[in-house]
Amino acid sequence: MQACSLQGHGQGAGTLRRMHSTHSIRHCKTCGGATAYLIPADDNRERAVCTVCATVHYENPCNVVGTVPVWGDQVLLCRRNIEPRYGYWTLPAGFMEMDETLAEGALRETVEEAGANIELQPLFSLLNVVRAGQVHVFYRARLIDTRFAPGPETIEVQLFREHEVPWDELAFKTVRETLKLYFEDQRRGQFGFHCADIG
C-alpha cells in the first residue's frame, strides 16, 4: 500500500505514456461502427475512436461506494452471495449509480446488501485500485439498531469485534485495509480520513 500523492508526469511531444487501458470498446455506441485506439487531436493518450463517425469514446474509472457500519465496538460485515469472491466477507459496498452522490450510493448499498438502518458519518477512506480502474470510497456509519437482514447479493450479515473478524476470508484488499485503519483509529479514540493506493 502507498499513500496517495499528486505528481506531475512530464511527456515530450509525440510520446505516449501508457496508462491503465483495457481496449475494451470494440464498437461505437453511437453508430455501431468499429473502433480503433488512436490519439485524437488535442489529446495525450489513446482513446476508442469510431472509424465511421469519428466519435471518441472515453473509458474512466468506476466508483465503488460503501460504509463501515458500527454498533458499539462491532463492525457489520456481509458474506457475498455473488461473484467475484462468492462466500467471502465484505463491507456493504458496490458500484455507484448515475444520478446519485457518493453518500447516497453508500447508503443505498448498505440498505441493499445488509438491510441495515444507519446514520451516515464522515468519509473515512478513499482507496485507488488503479489496476482494476476503480476508486473505492467508504463512509463511517452508525447502526441505528441491530435489525438487519441479507439482501439478494448477501448470504448472511453479522457483527464482528476486531478479534472476531474473519481476516483470512475477506473478499477484497480495500475492505481489509479499511477495516485495519478503522480499528487502529478506534484504539486511538480519534477517526481521520485515509487515502491509499492498493496494488
31 falls within a domain: yes
Q: Are residues 108 and 180 part of one domain? A: yes
Look at residue 12 in the predicted model and tell me its pLDDT.
32
16 falls within a domain: no
Q: Are residues 142 and 47 part of one domain? A: no
26 falls within a domain: yes
C-alpha to C-alpha distance for 62 and 124, rounded to whole angstroms: 18
Q: Domain range spanning residue 42?
A: 22-59
Q: Are residues 113 and 159 part of one domain? A: yes
Q: What is the CATH number of the domain that holds 27?
A: 2.20.70.10
Predicted confidence (pLDDT) per residue in 133-190, tens digit: 999 999 999 999 999 999 999 999 999 999 999 999 999 999 999 999 999 999 999 9
pTM for the structure as a whole? 0.83
- pLDDT of 8 above 50: no
Q: Find all residues with CB under 8 Å of 54, minimum gap 6, and list them.
A: none
CA distances to 4, 92, 164, 183 from 170, in Å: 23, 12, 12, 15
C-alpha to C-alpha distance for 101 and 84, rounded to whole angstroms: 25
Look at residue 24 in the predicted model and tell me its pLDDT.
86
Within 29-131, where are the H helices?
102-114
6 falls within a domain: no
129 falls within a domain: yes
Predicted confidence (pLDDT) per residue in 29-65, tens digit: 999 999 999 999 999 999 999 999 999 999 889 999 9
Q: Are residues 120 and 106 part of one domain? A: yes
